[in-house]
Structure 1
Amino acid sequence: MKIGIFGGSFDPPHVGHEAIVNEALKKLDIDKLIIVPTFLSPFKHEFFLPPATRLELLTKLFSKDAKIEVSDYEVKQNRSVYTIETVKHFKKHYSCEKIYLIIGEDNLEKLHLWSEFERLNQMVEFVVATRETQNNHPLLYANFKRLPIDVDVSSTSIKQDLDLNAIPNVIQNDLKTIIQKV
């Protein structure tokens, strides 16, 4: 089985994440795409939305596609989980012949700091979602695939404007309702 793993904070999930998922399904030869929200990123100290809420939002957003699985693996750990742990978990669970690890271009700068990066690099093929409007610095690792995304939105920019209604079309309306209840 060939799988794609798309992990992240998804804090909150937005149209950029949807675009990455849609492009990955179109461009990668995969049987399943697993979306894995973190409990808390090892590089962050807090979250905007609780992990259970982010899991609920992602499930609502992606539950209609049989090729997509939204996993609660990291959220259930109730701690920061290193990507290498998650990859090992799914490699064992699915007996994978190939794993694509989908990351945002913003992760490239600190990728060398990831736990067991060299080993991880041998276990997966990295796929970097690049924003058309970003500076598109040269990929630090030449063997990585690119997944160009034509959406310029980030969770950080959304969190800076706490009035979700002021951000048109970057978060689906049914997700906004859930977020506003938190």
Structure 2
Amino acid sequence: MNIAIFGGSFDPPHNAHDIIVKEALLNLKIDKLIVIPTYLNPFKSQFGASPKERLKWCQTLWQNLPKVQISDYEIMQNRAVASIESVRHFKQIYEPKICYLIIGADQLESLEKWYKFDELKDEVCFVVASRDDIEVPSNLQKLNINVRISSTKVRDELKFDQIPSQILDEVTKFYKEKNAK
């Protein structure tokens, strides 16, 4: 069995996340794609939408796709969870031959700062989703989507044109009400 893990804040999930999920299913030889919304990104001090809200949005978008599992593992820990911890958790459950870890190209610059990075790089094959014309090293597998969007930009600018239609109304309402407070 081969698995891929795609974790993130998904605050909110946007079209690039949707494309990454679908491209991973098409281009990686995997039996399962595990999407893991964080409780809190280890590099952030707060979140916009609650973990349960973000989990619900991810479930709405992807839980009915073949091979996709939406996991509440990190949310249930009720704390920031390092990627290596989630990887080891799912490797113990599924005992995969290959475990891919999908990251955005924007993470490449700080990747070596990740908790236990030297161990993590021995446990996974990184798959990098291209973004913002950031160069992906040739030794890394790439999902060639090259989008120019971020959840931060959606939240800060309240521009919701990059939110998938299945969750658009909920996401728009949530962030507009949050910003009105």
**1:177 is matched with which residue?**
169
TM-score of the superposed pair, with normalisation by structure 2: 0.91
After TM superposition, the structure 1 = structure 2 runs for residues 93-132 of structure 1, keeping only pairs within 5 Å, are 93-131=93-131
Q: Which residue of 1 aligns with 2:160?
A: 167
Gaps of at least 5 residues in structure 1 are none
Deviation string for 1:107-156 (max 9, x for gaps)?
Answer: 1111001111011101100000002xx232353xx532111104322111
Counterparts of 1:101 and 1:138 in 2: how far apart (Å)?
Answer: 15
Whether the 8 Å contact between 1:19 and 1:151 is mirrored in structure 2 is no
Distance 1:63 1:6 in 2: 13
The amino acid of 2:134's aligned partner reads N
Q: Distance in 2 between matches of 1:174 and 1:84?
A: 31
Give the SS at the match of 1:173: coil
- AA matched with 1:178: E
Unaligned 5+ runs, structure 2? none
Deviations 1:53-97 (A, max 9, x none): 000000000022121000000011000000000000000011111
Letter in 2 for 1:20: I
State the alpha-carbon separation in 1 of the partners of residues 142 and 166 from structure 2: 31
**In 2, Cα distance between the equivalents of 1:137 and 1:144?**
11
Once the two structures are aligned, what percentage of the paired residues are identical? Answer: 45
Aligned-partner Cα distance in 1 for 2:165–2:19: 17
| Number of residue-to-residue matches in the alignment | 174
